[in-house]
Amino acid sequence: MHFIRWLGSLILILVMTPLCLAFEPDEVSLRGLWKFRIGDQREWASLDYDDSAWDKIRVPARWENEGFRGYDGYAWYRTSVLIDQSLADKKMVLELGYIDDVDEVFINGVRVGQTGSFPPHFSTAYNALRKYQIPAHLIRFGEENLIAVRVYDSQLEGGIVSGNVRIYTSGVLPPFLIDLTGNWLFNKGKAFNANNHTDILVPGAWENQGYNNYNGYAVYTRKIKLPADVVGQRLVLLAGKIDDADQLYLNGRLMGQTGDYERWSNRDFDGDFRNYFFPPGAFKSDKENILEIRVYDRTGLGGIYEGPVGIMTQDQFRKYWKSKRRN
Protein backbone atom coordinates (compact mmCIF):
# COMPACT_ATOMS: atom_id res chain seq x y z
CA MET A 1 0.00 0.00 0.00
CA HIS A 2 2.83 2.38 0.87
CA PHE A 3 4.52 1.56 -2.44
CA ILE A 4 1.32 2.32 -4.39
CA ARG A 5 0.96 5.70 -2.65
CA TRP A 6 4.63 6.51 -3.35
CA LEU A 7 4.29 5.53 -7.01
CA GLY A 8 1.16 7.65 -7.36
CA SER A 9 2.91 10.67 -5.88
CA LEU A 10 5.86 10.19 -8.22
CA ILE A 11 3.61 10.01 -11.29
CA LEU A 12 1.80 13.19 -10.15
CA ILE A 13 5.12 15.02 -9.76
CA LEU A 14 6.27 13.94 -13.22
CA VAL A 15 3.01 14.99 -14.83
CA MET A 16 3.07 18.41 -13.19
CA THR A 17 6.77 19.10 -13.93
CA PRO A 18 7.30 21.30 -17.04
CA LEU A 19 9.18 19.62 -19.89
CA CYS A 20 11.95 22.23 -19.83
CA LEU A 21 13.14 20.91 -16.45
CA ALA A 22 14.23 17.69 -18.17
CA PHE A 23 17.35 19.57 -19.24
CA GLU A 24 20.14 21.00 -17.15
CA PRO A 25 19.68 24.72 -16.33
CA ASP A 26 22.68 25.65 -18.52
CA GLU A 27 21.72 23.53 -21.51
CA VAL A 28 19.87 24.32 -24.72
CA SER A 29 18.55 21.40 -26.77
CA LEU A 30 19.04 21.63 -30.55
CA ARG A 31 16.96 18.57 -31.42
CA GLY A 32 14.19 19.27 -33.89
CA LEU A 33 13.84 20.77 -37.36
CA TRP A 34 16.87 22.39 -39.02
CA LYS A 35 17.17 24.03 -42.44
CA PHE A 36 18.83 21.68 -44.95
CA ARG A 37 20.19 21.78 -48.48
CA ILE A 38 22.25 19.37 -50.56
CA GLY A 39 25.25 20.77 -52.41
CA ASP A 40 28.21 22.84 -51.24
CA GLN A 41 28.67 26.61 -51.27
CA ARG A 42 30.81 28.50 -48.77
CA GLU A 43 28.32 31.37 -48.57
CA TRP A 44 25.94 29.02 -46.78
CA ALA A 45 27.94 29.60 -43.60
CA SER A 46 27.20 33.34 -43.71
CA LEU A 47 24.92 35.18 -41.29
CA ASP A 48 23.58 37.22 -44.22
CA TYR A 49 22.58 34.28 -46.38
CA ASP A 50 18.82 33.82 -46.92
CA ASP A 51 17.89 30.17 -46.24
CA SER A 52 14.11 30.70 -46.26
CA ALA A 53 13.70 28.45 -49.32
CA TRP A 54 15.64 25.52 -47.84
CA ASP A 55 14.07 22.19 -46.88
CA LYS A 56 13.52 21.28 -43.24
CA ILE A 57 14.94 18.10 -41.78
CA ARG A 58 14.86 16.43 -38.37
CA VAL A 59 18.04 16.43 -36.32
CA PRO A 60 19.32 13.95 -35.39
CA ALA A 61 18.25 11.62 -38.21
CA ARG A 62 19.73 9.94 -41.27
CA TRP A 63 18.99 12.19 -44.23
CA GLU A 64 18.04 9.03 -46.19
CA ASN A 65 15.04 8.74 -43.86
CA GLU A 66 14.11 12.40 -44.35
CA GLY A 67 13.47 12.33 -48.11
CA PHE A 68 17.04 12.14 -49.45
CA ARG A 69 17.36 8.39 -49.95
CA GLY A 70 20.39 7.33 -51.95
CA TYR A 71 22.13 10.71 -51.74
CA ASP A 72 25.89 10.74 -51.12
CA GLY A 73 27.96 13.91 -51.17
CA TYR A 74 27.89 17.37 -49.59
CA ALA A 75 25.04 19.00 -47.67
CA TRP A 76 24.57 21.84 -45.20
CA TYR A 77 22.49 22.26 -42.04
CA ARG A 78 21.53 25.63 -40.52
CA THR A 79 19.66 26.63 -37.37
CA SER A 80 19.50 29.58 -34.97
CA VAL A 81 19.50 29.46 -31.18
CA LEU A 82 18.99 32.04 -28.45
CA ILE A 83 21.75 31.95 -25.80
CA ASP A 84 20.83 33.71 -22.59
CA GLN A 85 22.92 36.59 -21.25
CA SER A 86 23.23 34.76 -17.90
CA LEU A 87 25.64 32.29 -19.55
CA ALA A 88 28.17 34.94 -20.60
CA ASP A 89 30.78 33.89 -18.03
CA LYS A 90 30.52 30.16 -18.82
CA LYS A 91 32.50 27.97 -21.22
CA MET A 92 30.09 26.95 -23.99
CA VAL A 93 30.26 23.62 -25.83
CA LEU A 94 28.37 22.62 -28.97
CA GLU A 95 27.61 18.89 -29.08
CA LEU A 96 26.40 17.46 -32.40
CA GLY A 97 26.26 13.76 -31.64
CA TYR A 98 27.49 11.49 -34.44
CA ILE A 99 27.88 12.67 -38.03
CA ASP A 100 28.50 10.50 -41.07
CA ASP A 101 31.19 11.03 -42.40
CA VAL A 102 32.91 14.45 -42.11
CA ASP A 103 31.76 17.83 -40.76
CA GLU A 104 32.86 21.44 -40.50
CA VAL A 105 31.11 23.79 -38.06
CA PHE A 106 30.51 27.55 -38.16
CA ILE A 107 29.12 29.84 -35.45
CA ASN A 108 27.78 33.18 -36.69
CA GLY A 109 29.76 32.69 -39.89
CA VAL A 110 33.09 31.82 -38.25
CA ARG A 111 34.62 28.36 -38.50
CA VAL A 112 35.08 26.77 -35.05
CA GLY A 113 35.92 23.14 -35.77
CA GLN A 114 36.10 20.10 -38.01
CA THR A 115 36.09 16.32 -37.56
CA GLY A 116 37.33 13.99 -40.28
CA SER A 117 38.88 15.08 -43.58
CA PHE A 118 37.06 16.20 -46.72
CA PRO A 119 38.00 15.05 -50.23
CA PRO A 120 40.47 14.88 -51.88
CA HIS A 121 42.15 13.60 -48.68
CA PHE A 122 38.99 11.93 -47.40
CA SER A 123 38.96 10.31 -43.98
CA THR A 124 35.73 9.31 -42.26
CA ALA A 125 34.96 10.10 -38.62
CA TYR A 126 31.51 8.49 -38.45
CA ASN A 127 32.18 6.99 -35.01
CA ALA A 128 33.52 10.16 -33.34
CA LEU A 129 31.37 12.13 -30.90
CA ARG A 130 31.32 15.78 -32.03
CA LYS A 131 32.03 18.37 -29.35
CA TYR A 132 33.22 21.88 -30.18
CA GLN A 133 34.15 24.66 -27.76
CA ILE A 134 32.52 27.94 -28.82
CA PRO A 135 34.80 30.98 -28.38
CA ALA A 136 32.98 33.47 -26.15
CA HIS A 137 33.68 36.40 -28.45
CA LEU A 138 31.65 34.75 -31.22
CA ILE A 139 28.47 34.42 -29.17
CA ARG A 140 25.75 37.08 -29.25
CA PHE A 141 24.38 36.64 -25.74
CA GLY A 142 20.70 37.51 -25.46
CA GLU A 143 20.30 37.24 -29.25
CA GLU A 144 19.89 34.58 -31.94
CA ASN A 145 23.08 32.78 -32.97
CA LEU A 146 23.53 30.95 -36.27
CA ILE A 147 24.92 27.41 -36.35
CA ALA A 148 25.90 26.12 -39.80
CA VAL A 149 27.23 22.59 -40.34
CA ARG A 150 28.84 21.43 -43.57
CA VAL A 151 28.68 17.63 -43.99
CA TYR A 152 30.20 15.19 -46.48
CA ASP A 153 28.92 11.61 -46.74
CA SER A 154 30.73 9.07 -48.92
CA GLN A 155 28.26 6.18 -48.84
CA LEU A 156 25.38 4.53 -46.97
CA GLU A 157 23.72 6.71 -44.29
CA GLY A 158 24.56 10.41 -44.06
CA GLY A 159 24.10 13.54 -41.95
CA ILE A 160 23.75 14.28 -38.25
CA VAL A 161 22.56 10.76 -37.62
CA SER A 162 22.30 10.19 -33.85
CA GLY A 163 23.22 11.22 -30.32
CA ASN A 164 22.60 14.28 -28.19
CA VAL A 165 22.44 17.60 -30.03
CA ARG A 166 22.76 20.59 -27.73
CA ILE A 167 24.71 23.57 -26.41
CA TYR A 168 25.79 23.26 -22.78
CA THR A 169 28.11 24.90 -20.28
CA SER A 170 31.32 23.29 -19.08
CA GLY A 171 32.60 25.24 -16.12
CA VAL A 172 33.58 28.87 -15.71
CA LEU A 173 35.20 30.67 -18.63
CA PRO A 174 38.86 31.53 -17.88
CA PRO A 175 39.38 35.30 -17.46
CA PHE A 176 41.79 35.57 -20.39
CA LEU A 177 43.58 38.79 -21.24
CA ILE A 178 44.04 37.22 -24.67
CA ASP A 179 41.90 34.29 -25.84
CA LEU A 180 44.05 32.23 -28.22
CA THR A 181 41.24 29.99 -29.43
CA GLY A 182 41.00 30.14 -33.21
CA ASN A 183 43.41 30.15 -36.16
CA TRP A 184 47.14 29.54 -35.72
CA LEU A 185 49.83 29.05 -38.37
CA PHE A 186 50.87 25.39 -38.68
CA ASN A 187 53.53 23.37 -40.43
CA LYS A 188 55.18 19.97 -40.15
CA GLY A 189 58.74 19.75 -38.87
CA LYS A 190 60.71 20.95 -35.87
CA ALA A 191 60.85 24.68 -36.77
CA PHE A 192 58.49 27.30 -38.20
CA ASN A 193 58.52 27.35 -41.99
CA ALA A 194 57.56 30.81 -43.25
CA ASN A 195 57.28 29.51 -46.83
CA ASN A 196 55.16 26.44 -46.17
CA HIS A 197 52.46 26.77 -43.52
CA THR A 198 48.67 26.62 -43.34
CA ASP A 199 45.98 27.84 -40.93
CA ILE A 200 44.78 25.38 -38.33
CA LEU A 201 42.10 25.67 -35.65
CA VAL A 202 43.10 25.53 -31.98
CA PRO A 203 41.95 23.52 -30.14
CA GLY A 204 41.46 20.59 -32.50
CA ALA A 205 43.39 17.43 -33.38
CA TRP A 206 45.43 17.91 -36.56
CA GLU A 207 44.12 14.56 -37.93
CA ASN A 208 40.72 16.24 -38.29
CA GLN A 209 42.18 19.17 -40.23
CA GLY A 210 43.87 17.56 -43.20
CA TYR A 211 46.76 15.74 -41.49
CA ASN A 212 45.23 12.29 -41.11
CA ASN A 213 47.57 9.55 -39.87
CA TYR A 214 50.44 12.02 -39.41
CA ASN A 215 52.77 11.21 -36.52
CA GLY A 216 55.88 13.27 -35.87
CA TYR A 217 56.91 16.89 -35.33
CA ALA A 218 54.85 20.03 -36.05
CA VAL A 219 54.86 23.71 -35.06
CA TYR A 220 51.98 26.01 -34.06
CA THR A 221 52.74 29.74 -34.39
CA ARG A 222 50.77 32.80 -33.24
CA LYS A 223 51.69 36.51 -33.20
CA ILE A 224 50.30 38.62 -30.34
CA LYS A 225 50.65 42.14 -28.91
CA LEU A 226 50.43 43.08 -25.23
CA PRO A 227 50.08 46.58 -23.72
CA ALA A 228 52.84 47.94 -21.46
CA ASP A 229 50.83 47.58 -18.22
CA VAL A 230 50.35 43.86 -18.90
CA VAL A 231 53.93 43.07 -19.96
CA GLY A 232 55.21 44.01 -16.50
CA GLN A 233 53.05 41.40 -14.79
CA ARG A 234 53.61 37.68 -14.23
CA LEU A 235 51.64 35.94 -16.95
CA VAL A 236 50.46 32.38 -17.60
CA LEU A 237 49.74 30.60 -20.88
CA LEU A 238 47.02 27.97 -20.68
CA ALA A 239 47.89 25.76 -23.66
CA GLY A 240 45.16 23.15 -23.27
CA LYS A 241 45.81 19.44 -23.75
CA ILE A 242 48.51 18.37 -26.20
CA ASP A 243 49.32 14.94 -27.62
CA ASP A 244 52.12 13.95 -26.85
CA ALA A 245 55.16 16.12 -25.95
CA ASP A 246 55.69 19.84 -26.53
CA GLN A 247 58.04 22.80 -26.17
CA LEU A 248 56.98 26.43 -25.77
CA TYR A 249 59.05 29.21 -27.34
CA LEU A 250 58.54 32.96 -26.96
CA ASN A 251 60.39 35.13 -29.48
CA GLY A 252 62.80 32.27 -30.15
CA ARG A 253 63.52 31.56 -26.47
CA LEU A 254 62.60 28.23 -24.87
CA MET A 255 60.18 28.92 -21.99
CA GLY A 256 59.18 25.39 -20.97
CA GLN A 257 58.30 21.89 -22.10
CA THR A 258 56.24 18.84 -21.19
CA GLY A 259 57.31 15.29 -21.97
CA ASP A 260 60.35 14.09 -23.88
CA TYR A 261 60.24 16.20 -27.04
CA GLU A 262 63.49 14.93 -28.58
CA ARG A 263 62.88 11.19 -28.42
CA TRP A 264 60.22 8.60 -27.69
CA SER A 265 59.25 8.18 -24.06
CA ASN A 266 57.17 5.55 -22.29
CA ARG A 267 55.42 8.20 -20.24
CA ASP A 268 52.20 9.54 -21.75
CA PHE A 269 51.40 13.22 -21.15
CA ASP A 270 48.41 13.61 -23.49
CA GLY A 271 45.90 13.90 -20.61
CA ASP A 272 47.77 16.75 -18.90
CA PHE A 273 46.79 20.41 -19.23
CA ARG A 274 49.77 22.57 -20.18
CA ASN A 275 50.27 25.69 -18.06
CA TYR A 276 53.38 27.78 -18.73
CA PHE A 277 54.53 30.72 -16.57
CA PHE A 278 56.26 33.86 -17.87
CA PRO A 279 58.37 36.22 -15.72
CA PRO A 280 57.70 39.97 -15.89
CA GLY A 281 59.18 41.48 -19.04
CA ALA A 282 59.29 38.23 -21.02
CA PHE A 283 57.01 39.79 -23.64
CA LYS A 284 57.89 42.87 -25.70
CA SER A 285 55.67 45.87 -25.01
CA ASP A 286 53.34 47.04 -27.80
CA LYS A 287 55.24 44.95 -30.38
CA GLU A 288 54.53 41.64 -32.04
CA ASN A 289 55.52 38.65 -29.94
CA ILE A 290 55.87 35.25 -31.56
CA LEU A 291 54.54 32.24 -29.66
CA GLU A 292 55.59 28.82 -30.92
CA ILE A 293 54.29 25.54 -29.57
CA ARG A 294 56.38 22.72 -31.00
CA VAL A 295 54.71 19.34 -30.73
CA TYR A 296 55.89 15.77 -31.08
CA ASP A 297 53.17 13.13 -31.56
CA ARG A 298 54.12 9.47 -31.67
CA THR A 299 50.74 7.82 -32.26
CA GLY A 300 46.97 8.40 -32.30
CA LEU A 301 45.60 11.94 -32.25
CA GLY A 302 48.10 14.78 -32.47
CA GLY A 303 48.40 18.44 -31.57
CA ILE A 304 46.57 20.89 -29.31
CA TYR A 305 43.36 18.91 -29.20
CA GLU A 306 41.47 20.43 -26.24
CA GLY A 307 41.18 23.92 -24.69
CA PRO A 308 41.09 26.31 -22.97
CA VAL A 309 43.94 28.20 -24.67
CA GLY A 310 44.85 31.77 -23.70
CA ILE A 311 46.94 34.16 -21.58
CA MET A 312 46.06 35.54 -18.13
CA THR A 313 47.86 36.96 -15.11
CA GLN A 314 49.10 34.64 -12.37
CA ASP A 315 46.61 36.16 -9.92
CA GLN A 316 43.77 35.41 -12.33
CA PHE A 317 45.17 31.91 -12.83
CA ARG A 318 45.14 31.13 -9.08
CA LYS A 319 41.58 32.41 -8.67
CA TYR A 320 40.44 30.47 -11.74
CA TRP A 321 41.78 27.12 -10.48
CA LYS A 322 40.41 27.74 -6.98
CA SER A 323 37.02 28.32 -8.58
CA LYS A 324 37.33 25.09 -10.60
CA ARG A 325 38.19 23.09 -7.47
CA ARG A 326 35.19 24.55 -5.61
CA ASN A 327 32.89 23.59 -8.48
Residue 55 in any domain: the answer is yes
Residue 307 lies in a domain: yes
Confidence check: pLDDT of 248 > 90: yes
The confidence band for 296, taking pLDDT boundaries of 50, 70 and 90, is very high
Residue type, 206: W
Q: Which of 117, 137, 172 marks a domain boundary?
A: 172
Residue 18 counted as domain residue: no
- pLDDT digits 0-9 by tens, 109-160: 999 999 888 999 888 888 889 999 898 889 999 999 999 999 999 999 999 9
Residues 182 and 316 in one domain: yes
Residue 108 DSSP symbol:
T
Does the pLDDT at position 5 exceed 50?
A: no
* CATH number for the domain that contains residue 237: 2.60.120.260
Q: Are residues 125 and 261 in the same domain?
A: no
Last residue of a domain, one of 151, 172, 193: 172
- Written as one letter, the residue type at 311 is I
Please identify, among 129, 156, 172, the residue that sits at the C-terminal boundary of a domain.
Answer: 172
| Amino acid of residue 125 | A
How wide is the angle at C-alpha 51 spanned by C-alphas 123 and 57, nearest 5°? 60
Same domain, 288 and 306: yes
Side chain identity at residue 141, one-letter code: F
pLDDT at residue 11 in the model = 37
Neighbours of 174 (CB within 10 A): 23
Judge if 215 and 311 occupy the same domain.
yes
Average pLDDT of the chain to the nearest whole number:
88
Considering the domain architecture, whether residues 242 and 277 belong to the same structural domain is answered as yes
Is residue 268 very low, low, confident or very high in pLDDT (cuts 50, 70, 90)? low
Residues 218 and 151 in one domain: no
- 120 in any annotated domain: yes
Note down the domain range covering 64: 23-172
- Name the nearest CA neighbour of 72 among 156, 160, 162: 156
The amino acid sitting at 243 is D
Alpha carbon 315 to chain centroid, angstroms:
26
- The pLDDT of residue 212 is 83
Are residues 144 and 35 both part of a single domain?
Answer: yes
Q: Is residue 1 part of a domain?
A: no
Given a cut of 80, whether residue 270 has pLDDT beyond it is: no
pLDDT at 168 over 50: yes
Judged by DSSP in three states, 43 sits in helix
Instruction: Give the start-end residues of each E strand in 23-72.
Output: 27-29, 32-38, 55-59
316 membership: H or E segment, kind and range: helix 314-326
Alpha helices in the chain (DSSP H): 2-16, 228-231, 314-326
Quote the CA–CA distance of 317 and 308 in Å, as a whole number: 12
pLDDT above 90: residue 234: yes
What's the structural domain count of the chain?
Answer: 2
Give residue 267's pLDDT band: very low, low, confident or very high (50, 70, 90): low
What pLDDT does 265 receive? 60
Task: Say if 17 falls within a structural domain.
Answer: no
Q: Which residue has the higher pLDDT, 74 or 208?
A: 74
Predicted pLDDT of residue 307: 87
Lowest mean pLDDT among 14-18, 190-194, 287-291: 14-18
Least confident of 29-33, 208-212, 316-320: 208-212
Give the pLDDT band of residue 198 (cuts 50, 70, 90).
Answer: very high
40 and 113 share one domain? yes
Angle at 43 between CA 166 and CA 201, to 5 degrees: 60
Residue 4, pLDDT > 50, answer no
